[in-house]
Amino acid sequence: MEPWEFGRTVRRWRDRVAPEAVGVPVGRRRRASGLRREELAALAGISADYLTRLEQGRATTPSAQVVESLSRALRLPDGERDLLYRLAGHSAPGPDVVPSRIAPSVHRLLDRLSHTPVVVHDAGWTLVLANAPYDALMGETTAWRGLERNAVWRNVARLPTRVVHTPREQAEHEARLVADLRVTASRYPADRNLRRLIAELSAGSPRFAELWDAQAPPPLAEPSRHKTIDHPAVGPITLDCDTLVVALDDLRITVYTAEPGTEDAERLALAVVLGTQSMAR
């Protein structure tokens, strides 16, 4: 196949995607029936300049991660996703690779939570998707790259966060994440990217290495279903935090909610409004 076929295919599929079907607001004066280039780039987490070069055939070797991100943003069915991988010169991920695909049915579920903070991680705790309310609550994730997108790393490296933990809660949270990553590694022993992630975590964090090498990790208390977020504009918000596992796709969907009618619910609504307005400017 010609190398420019990848970009031409992405352009053709971009033109057929209705913006409202992927959560992109549509103005009255809109002329394009499909997604604009900058809209698809934002959904996929890549630069508009790089997408332009891909579509024009000036960039012809996108990584598997870029292909997956574009497939997810375009909401491609399995057959078209596999074709896009082949056009990029990759094999579609098999069952021995940690999946990061969000099935159309799961996308529809997430669409129904479009006003609720939601974040999706794969089985290795690498960020797959964060919706606008989540970014408004927790801070923007769009600029995160590499290890920054991994929740295990963000915790063991103690990167800045709005979540308030006591030292004990933080230590237990880190231990739970590492224990879950250990289970994932046992399920996907052939995944080279996962092995590389674990090697990078071990080399970069003594705390991770300590937890990973522990022969008999101590039993941990059940995690709290409540989290307090110290939001810079509205102050502390205590929310229910529930992580749902999509068994077939091995994804972790974390949802943040507040009981209606409470002060926390009012603060959450205000944080989402302020944050999404700021990101839209």
Torsion angle in degrees (nearest 10) through CA of 243, 246, 249, 250:
40
DSSP alpha helices (H): ranges in the chain?
5-16, 37-44, 48-55, 64-74, 78-87, 104-111, 132-138, 151-156, 167-187, 192-204, 206-213, 263-280
Q: What is the pLDDT of residue 51?
A: 95
- Closest Cα partner for 185 from 122, 91, 103? 122
DSSP 95: T
Cα–Cα distances in angstroms (integers) from residue 246 to residues 43, 99, 153, 235, 252, in the given order: 22, 11, 22, 32, 6
Nearest to residue 127, comparing CAs of 159, 172, 169? 159
Question: Which residue, chain included where needed, has tokens 């070069």?
Answer: 53
DSSP 262: S
Say what the pLDDT of residue 166 is.
Answer: 93
| Nearest residue to 103 (alpha-carbon basis) of 71, 58, 133, 130 | 71
pLDDT for 231 equals 97
Q: What is the pLDDT of residue 275?
A: 87
- Residue listed under structure tokens 């209606």: 260
- The encoded tokens of residue 218 equal 């101590």
Q: Output the tens digit of pLDDT for each of the chain's 281 residues.
A: 566 799 999 999 999 998 888 877 776 677 767 899 999 998 888 899 999 999 999 988 899 889 999 998 999 988 899 999 999 988 888 888 999 989 888 999 999 999 999 999 999 999 999 999 999 999 999 888 889 999 999 999 999 999 999 999 999 999 999 999 999 999 999 999 999 999 999 999 999 999 999 866 666 667 778 999 999 999 999 999 999 999 889 999 999 999 999 999 999 999 999 988 765 55
237 torsion bin: left (phi>0), alpha (psi -120 to 50), beta (else): beta
Structure-block tokens of residue 119: 């974040």
Query: 242: which residues sit within 8 A by CB, 6+ positions away?
Result: 225, 254, 255, 257
CA gap 176, 7 in Å, rounded = 41
